[in-house]
Structure 1
Amino acid sequence: MSQLRTVQVLGGGSAGSSAHVRSLAAGLVARGVRVTVCAPAELEREYDFPAAGARFVAVPRRADPAAVGALRAACADADVVHAHGLHAAVRAALALRGRKGVPLVVT
């Protein structure tokens, strides 16, 4: 069985959701899940997602083609994508458009 791969997408990255994603990433990594966090670059400096064991991909908080393309590339091998917030959900849905079988969870 292959390792489960998840992408956690942050929109604006409020303090609560950013701290939650860091904690969630640490817990998932401890259970053998490969985690990628996609968020604006400044959130990596503040929350240090790689220290929690997650791969970090800087994705600007925009819905332009370049930002959506970067998010789509980060989600290319995901088994599940979890968007935290409405803005993140819209961008994740755009990035996953046309890809069958990749669940999108929105909280």
Structure 2
Amino acid sequence: MSHVSTPAPQGQPPLHTVQVLGGGSAGSSAHVRSLSTGLAARGVRVTVCAPAEADEAYDFAGTGAHHVAVPRRSDPASVAALRAACADADLVHAHGL
């Protein structure tokens, strides 16, 4: 199966999607890695917000995504990191959060 990159319309920035992992279970982490790979291959700007240990295990940056380390807490610092990462997103897709 070939992947065709669809560029953004001329003069417009590429779409930006944020994938958010809460618990980072093996199933949801593998799913986010797969989504990130496909989206990045199609020219979508992808950010993955996940605990550092999930990125170490699943190498989200290796898919072409930008990783933002967000601890598995609901403290103000974690909420602020998520808010900043999602500020310019066209789509936020949350998994287990």
TM-score by length of 1: 0.78
Structure 1 segments (4+ residues) deviating >3 Å: none
1:2-81 alignment, distance < 5 Å? 2-81=13-92
Q: Deviations over 1:14-47 (max 9, x none)?
A: 0000001001000000111000000011011000
1:91 maps to which residue?
none
Equivalent residue pairs, number: 86
Letter in 2 for 1:50: A
Letter in 1 for 2:26: A
**Is the helix fraction higher in 1 or 2?**
1
Larger Rg: 2
Question: How far apart, CA to CA, are the structure 2 residues paired with 1:23 and 1:30?
Answer: 11
SS in 2 for 1:26: helix
Question: How far apart, CA to CA, are the structure 2 residues paired with 1:71 and 1:79?
Answer: 14
SS in 2 for 1:74: helix
SS in 2 for 1:25: helix
The RMSD of aligned alpha carbons is 0.7
Question: How far apart, CA to CA, are the structure 2 residues paired with 1:83 and 1:54?
Answer: 15
TM-score by length of 2: 0.86
SS in 2 for 1:38: strand
Letter in 1 for 2:57: E
